[in-house]
Amino acid sequence: MRAWQLHEIEMPNGTRSPVVLDSGDSRAVLIRIAPGEELGEHQVRERAWVVVLDGAVDVETTGDTITASAGTLLEFEPTERRTVRSAQGARVLILLAPWPGPGHYPE
């Protein structure tokens, strides 16, 4: 067993410096979104789960927008496009599985 105290991990400023907690058959990434910052429209090849640990985020997908506060778990299908932004700042945990997903690395 391994364990992480997510609220105790030093976080760099902003989304350009995620902390990869694990990368094996799945991937766990911790990201701090600074106030007013966003993860621009993107998609991944894997199924993605996003847990809002602190703060709140606005998540926009095709035709849907929600505000997710601390304690919210979001699930995205592989290749589902989304934008994640935070007016006040947030800390999120992203889980990707399987890692890497089919087509993640071009052959």
Residue 9 forms part of a structural domain:
no
Residues 6+ apart with CB under 8 A from 12: 19, 32
Q: Looking at the 3D structure of the chain, how many domains does it have?
A: 1
Please give the pLDDT value at position 50.
96
Residue 7 forms part of a structural domain:
no
Say if CB 32 and CB 84 are below 8 A apart.
no
Please give the pLDDT value at position 30.
96
For residue 34, what is the domain's CATH number? Answer: 2.60.120.10
**Per-residue pLDDT in tens (0 to 9) along the chain, 107 residues:** 999 999 999 887 666 679 999 999 999 999 999 999 998 888 888 999 999 999 999 999 988 999 999 999 999 999 899 999 999 999 999 999 998 877 777 66
Residue 31 forms part of a structural domain:
yes
Residue 63 forms part of a structural domain:
yes
Which domain covers residue 90, as residue numbers? 27-97
Q: Which two tokens stand for residue 24?
A: 């094996």
